[in-house]
Amino acid sequence: MQKKLIALAIAGLSSAAFAQTNVTLYGIADVAFESVKASGGTADPTGTITGMLVTGDGYSNFSRVASNSSYIGFKGAEDLGDGLKAVFQFETGFNADTGVWSGAARDTYAGLAGGFGTVVFGNLTGPTRALGGRMEMLPGNTNAGTAVSLLGNAANFFNTGTTGTFDTRLANSVAYISPDFNGFNGVIAYSSGENKSLDNVAAGAQLNTKAYDLGLNYANGPLDLGLTYGKVDTDTDSAAGGVTGAGALTGVKDIKNIRFGAGYNFGVAKVTFQYNKQTINFGSGDDLDHKSYSLQGSYSITPAGKLIADYTVAKELEGSLVTGLNDSGAKLVTVGYLHSLSKRTTLKAVWTRLTNDSNARYNFSSSAIGATGVGGFGYGADPQALSMGLRHSF
């Protein structure tokens, strides 16, 4: 159980690494042929968020080949005696569609594991991101249809095409994963921004950025529960809060995030639910609240094949930064079929549609459509993708 909980807490810390003293080479090649579009959209919203300006309307249908978080890594452990082990992992991404190394920063660390739990240092998946991965039905929490396009992702309202603050890995981090206590375990992760300076705070400089992410998990039999709390603190006390023309948030003082997840495995079927609340506070005293939830399920129709479905909602933005902006929410619907050719190879057929309200510009977090930021599609456009692909682990 200890090995299982460590794997749930930090992506990539697999039980296989703890069972051997040599180095293991491993990875994922995940590629898909997709037909995508972002229909509709307008250049200007009826309401405003400070400083936001968008041009463009939408993208007509076009095809592409997408690499979905393909990566290669090395991992291993050394038995130090008395139940103590040294563990390490190096993992980096590559673009399977072009054959080019992407240099994507993935879980990379060194640490110690024993009866006291596990301590690791490096670039890490925190408990919030790990919880989202456990609840996601798409393998590897990657593809155009993943819930993180909306879940806990206030920044993607501005068409950033990225995942939310706590669904990315934490750089310059240290994490502690407790032993298992009758199905319960805790995770504490701390990240140092390593950017302390004496720059002018009033100008919006980040003096001493730091973050922490805390998680409590319960995994026993078919039931899987998780509750996490994260905070990024920039030490910015007095700066004008707003949004630049390119859609970037400025003057952010801190970001707080709470996530609850619950999953139940019925054997032939599995159901998961997540709720996320994210609050962005600015040095000027303004704030922005983003609430979202996701309901997902899978059903095995044969021993090798299963249907998956996802319904994720981002509620309308709230807070003092928002000025008269209604219809700022979005919905994501994903349906798909996964067929296992072997334990290592899976065929995927996935259709997904992200429906933006008239004053929203959410894009896919994995394989965004078109340009992001101020470019790309306008308000109210509806990105969608039909994807046929293969995922192979080695």
Query: pLDDT digit string (tens) for 209-260?
Result: 899 999 999 999 999 999 999 999 987 765 666 665 555 667 788 999 999 9
Q: What is the mean pLDDT of residues 347-373?
A: 92
Which pLDDT score is estimated for 13?
39
What one-letter code names the amino acid at 78?
A: E
Q: What is the mean pLDDT of residues 134-151?
A: 95
Which pLDDT score is estimated for 374?
72
Cβ-contact 234, 206 below 8 angstroms: yes
Which pLDDT score is estimated for 12?
40
Range of the domain at 239: 2-393
Q: Per mean pLDDT, which range of 71-75, 139-143, 286-290, 354-358 is the poorest?
A: 286-290
Percentage of residues of the chain with pLDDT beyond 90: 64
CA distance to 10, 78, 322, per residue, from 21 (Å): 20, 5, 55
Which pLDDT score is estimated for 197?
59
Query: pLDDT digit string (tens) for 98-139?
Result: 988 887 789 999 999 999 999 999 999 999 999 999 999 999
Specify the residue for token string 């140092």.
192
Measured between alpha carbons, how far is 118 from 170 in angstroms, rounded to an integer? 17
Q: What is the mean pLDDT of residues 370-394?
A: 90
Which pLDDT score is estimated for 204?
47
pLDDT over 70 (residue 207) = no
Query: pLDDT digit string (tens) for 375-384?
Result: 788 889 999 9
- Looking up residue 55, the CATH number of its domain turns out to be 2.40.160.10
Give pTM, 2 decimals: 0.87
Which pLDDT score is estimated for 357?
93
Q: Per mean pLDDT, which range of 35-39, 137-141, 318-322 is the poorest?
A: 318-322
Which pLDDT score is estimated for 205?
53
pLDDT over 90 (residue 40) = no
Q: Per mean pLDDT, which range of 38-47, 193-202, 277-286, 314-323 is the poorest?
A: 193-202
Q: How many structural domains does the chain have?
A: 1
Measured between alpha carbons, how far is 354 from 361 in angstroms, rounded to an integer? 10
Across all residues in the chain, what is the average pLDDT? Answer: 86
